[in-house]
Amino acid sequence: MRSSLALVPDADDAFSASVTERLDAVESRIREVVATSDDMVRWTARHLLDAGGKRVRPLLTLLAGSFGDMSRDAVIDAAVLVELTHLATLYHDDVMDDAPTRRGARTAHEVWSNSVAILTGDFLFARASALSSTLGPEAVLIHAETFERLCLGQLHETVGPSPEDDPFAHYLSVLADKTASLIASAGRLGALQAGCDPAVADVFARYGEKVGVAFQLADDVLDLRSDPETSGKAPGTDLKEGVPTMPTLLVRRRAVSPEADPRTGRLVSLLDAARDGGPVLDEALALLREDEAVEETAAMARSLGAEAVAILEDLPATPGRAALIDFTHALIDRAA
């Protein structure tokens, strides 16, 4: 899928051509793996697939694979595995969040029902699991452990922190499980299936944990600054659904400070009522967009991104490493 290469705009021409060819193969393979004779699932399983997406995780799998033999079919299947797993979580997340749109299209539960959306996500998980079995026991274990973390992240987000928990540490752990775990696995699987030394796969595991959290913090900013025409996501979606984000956590922490100003108190009261939508949501969104918490969150994302790039220094200097640095910056700077 060529839109993925927008994440690595300065990549070497020959390298870009090679990655483009493999991305096209990934796209074809995804559709092959999802294909089914069942009339209902044929449409529901392709709903989000047809809506598009940048294929961030498959691209990372291929970039990791470039440090070994990226031409192996197993690298393609690893990229398909992580994307199917990601798509499955989107079906489930949209039900959990009661989200009306995804990638500019109506969500599956809006088109059909919650049950159909959940079962479609389960179907995609099943196809991903079957694919992992063809890649060997280590891939099966990595996929299973990632699936566990995805479930735990969603569970902890849903239940929220206990009174004894630090809400910031709790939130970052949710991001690590819900987002970073799969991104780390994408790089790790790509390296392993390309025949790289396990030490290279470990670099991608460490890199993915950093860049995955940075990616989600950037998404917190994007939720407030996004243009629905280009992002496919209505601004303030997280606010309306009452989903905690780093900017709202920062505002709430400041509100309990003795130095808190009336504007902060007003913003917190609006955040508490934003689920009602309408003018309350609009005012909360407008105030939060101008709040220092948004830039503070963006700075956190950039700092984690810099740590992720530093980890890449453990890799040899190749066109793949240069592309990975571009990739990192693009994931984070999209919310600027």
At residue 11, the pLDDT reads 64
Regarding whether 239 and 117 lie in a shared domain, the answer is no
Which range has the worst mean pLDDT, 28-32, 152-156, 224-228, 307-311?
224-228
Please report, for the domain that includes residue 82, its CATH number.
1.10.600.10
Query: In whole numbers, what is the pLDDT of the chain averaged over residues?
Result: 87
Regarding whether 225 and 171 lie in a shared domain, the answer is no
Q: Mean pLDDT over residues 274-292, rounded?
A: 87
Domain boundary among the residues 196, 215, 243 is at 196
The answer to whether position 324 is within a domain reads no
Regarding whether 217 and 174 lie in a shared domain, the answer is no
At residue 2, the pLDDT reads 42
Q: Mean pLDDT over residues 84-95, rounded?
A: 82
Regarding whether 164 and 140 lie in a shared domain, the answer is yes
Q: What is the 3-state secondary structure (H, E, C) of 74-142?
A: HHHHHHHHHHHHHHHHHHHHHHHHCCCEECCEECHHHHCCHHHHHHHHHHHHHHHHHHHHCCCHHHHHH
Regarding whether 162 and 21 lie in a shared domain, the answer is yes
Regarding whether 43 and 176 lie in a shared domain, the answer is yes
Regarding whether 220 and 125 lie in a shared domain, the answer is no
Most confident of 87-101, 120-134, 175-189, 235-249: 175-189
Main-chain phi, psi angles of 94, to 5 degrees: -65, -30
Tell me the whole-structure pTM to 2 decimals: 0.90
Main-chain phi, psi angles of 151, to 5 degrees: -65, -45
Q: Number of folded domains in the chain?
A: 2
Regarding whether 125 and 237 lie in a shared domain, the answer is no
Domain boundary among the residues 196, 219, 235 is at 196
Regarding whether 74 and 27 lie in a shared domain, the answer is yes
- Boundaries of domain holding 186: 12-196
Q: Mean pLDDT over residues 100-121, rounded?
A: 70
Regarding whether 304 and 223 lie in a shared domain, the answer is yes
Which range has the worst mean pLDDT, 56-60, 172-176, 220-224, 271-275?
271-275
The answer to whether position 299 is within a domain reads yes
